[in-house]
């Protein structure tokens, strides 16, 4: 990182922000439990989650408009005062570390299941964190520029994979029927999980928005990238269901990986699940790095540490250890992702508190509070 984040004005272009948001949102697959809840209508839950995510992004933009030059962990102290603000800022820094650790653990599980059966979580985690540390040392600007090339590469692979799924004749639209077999209740029950993960996670960009070089474009860029990434996730959900059917998806660990493994064109083009692993590696890397960057930069600002590089190694160790200890196995990790983390952690921190902060700011401005 470039020393203290406030040493100079960092610059991220609109296209770079779009690329980061796309890669970030697609960094983890939607929780598999949505297929247990909504069955073949899971794509509807994804679409509803995307809609709520766009509305949440407008909430974050409203907060950002009050304090366009500082990250979230800074202006929360302006809103709530020195002591309460610092305490809540610390909670959000721990949130970035914890969710980043969850993403890291998901990546470790994917690598072990798909490629490295004999490897351990700790070895994959260490190698991943070395790359994340290197990216962090290079800084958010260098990372954003590199991410542009990663985005274009991933977009090309996604286009190729979708094309091959269509050409291979695997898609059976009847697997999407009957529509709303059990009514709207299962769809609406799955929506809060998807609102929290992945769409509500765009909250993390409240730490990066102040460094957008053309801040007037933030709504256009943010909503466009969120819609683009959300529609891609929805499309893949429909394709996965069309190829495998809801009942088979429930028995898989990574539906997209399984669906793509079925591609076989003239006994020549096959085993394309390797490409999905490549896409996942890139997406996970971007998502973990963004969480890591936000945690380190927020902590450096909170504790008034001029050289944020000093926090890179301790933060990486904490994130790595947390990824190993947070659950006993993959099943436990999945249960946490759908039944615990969204409701006890993500919804309060991503939705409830930001909305309360807006109300506090509006009330204080109405009363002409001098700090705001």
Percent of the chain with pLDDT over 70: 96
Mean pLDDT of 68-77: 90
Task: Answer whether residue 254 shows pLDDT above 70.
Answer: yes
Task: Answer whether residue 7 shows pLDDT above 50.
Answer: no
Query: Average pLDDT, whole number, for the chain?
Result: 87
SS3 assignment, position 307: coil
Q: What are phi and psi of 270, to 5 degrees?
A: -155, 180
Q: Rounded CA gap, 139 and 297, in Å? A: 11
Q: Rounded CA gap, 298 and 291, in Å? A: 11
Mean pLDDT of 170-194: 86
Mean pLDDT of 193-220: 87
Mean pLDDT of 253-269: 81
| C-alpha distances out from residue 213 to 14, 69, 209, Å | 7, 11, 9
Q: Where are the alpha helices (DSSP H) in the chain?
A: 14-25, 33-38, 42-66, 72-80, 82-114, 121-138, 140-167, 185-196, 218-244, 246-249, 255-261, 273-302, 312-325, 330-339, 341, 347, 353-366
SS3 assignment, position 234: helix
Structural tokens at position 265: 């064109």
Most confident of 248-252, 257-261, 359-363: 359-363
Residue 306: its pLDDT value, please?
81
CB-CB contact of 213 with 12 (8 Å): yes
Residue 6: its pLDDT value, please?
37
Task: Answer whether residue 9 shows pLDDT above 60.
Answer: no
Structural tokens at position 243: 């190829």
Task: Answer whether residue 372 shows pLDDT above 80.
Answer: no
Q: Rounded CA gap, 345 and 263, in Å? A: 38
Q: Rounded CA gap, 108 and 289, in Å? A: 15
SS3 assignment, position 201: helix
Residue 369: its pLDDT value, please?
66
């Amino acid at each position: 990182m470039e020393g203290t984040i406030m040493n100079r004005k960092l610059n991220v272009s609109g296209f770079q922000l779009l690329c980061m948001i796309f890669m970030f949102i697609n960094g983890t697959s939607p929780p598999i439990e949505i297929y247990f809840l909504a069955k073949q209508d899971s794509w509807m839950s994804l679409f509803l989650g995307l809609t709520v995510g766009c509305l949440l992004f407008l909430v974050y933009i409203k907060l950002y408009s009050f304090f366009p030059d500082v990250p979230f962990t800074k202006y929360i102290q302006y809103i709530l005062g020195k002591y309460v603000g610092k305490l809540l800022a610390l909670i959000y820094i721990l949130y970035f570390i914890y969710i980043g650790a969850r993403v890291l653990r998901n990546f470790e599980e994917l690598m072990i299941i798909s490629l490295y059966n004999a490897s351990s979580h700790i070895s994959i985690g260490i190698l991943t964190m070395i790359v994340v540390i290197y990216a962090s040392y290079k800084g958010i600007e260098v990372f954003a520029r590199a991410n542009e090339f990663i985005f274009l590469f991933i977009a090309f692979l996604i286009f190729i994979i979708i094309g091959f799924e269509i050409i291979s004749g695997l898609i059976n639209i009847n697997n999407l029927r009957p529509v709303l077999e059990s009514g709207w209740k299962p769809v609406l029950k799955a929506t809060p999980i998807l609102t929290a993960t992945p769409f509500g996670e765009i909250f993390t960009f409240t730490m990066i928005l102040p460094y957008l070089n053309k801040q007037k474009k933030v709504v256009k860029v943010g909503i466009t990238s969120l819609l683009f990434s959300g529609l891609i996730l929805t499309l893949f959900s429909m394709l996965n269901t069309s190829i495998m059917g809801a009942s088979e998806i429930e028995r898989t660990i990574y539906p997209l990986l399984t669906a793509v493994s079925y591609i076989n064109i003239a006994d020549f083009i096959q085993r394309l699940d390797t490409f999905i692993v490549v896409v996942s590696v890139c997406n996970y890397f971007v998502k973990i790095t963004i969480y890591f960057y936000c945690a380190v930069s927020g902590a450096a600002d909170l504790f008034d540490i001029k050289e944020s590089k000093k926090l890179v190694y301790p933060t990486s160790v904490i994130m790595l250890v947390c990824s190993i200890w947070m659950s006993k196995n993959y099943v436990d990790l999945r249960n946490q992702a759908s039944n615990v983390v969204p409701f006890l952690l993500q919804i309060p921190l991503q939705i409830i508190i930001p909305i309360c902060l807006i109300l506090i700011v509006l009330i204080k401005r109405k009363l002409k509070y001098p700090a705001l």
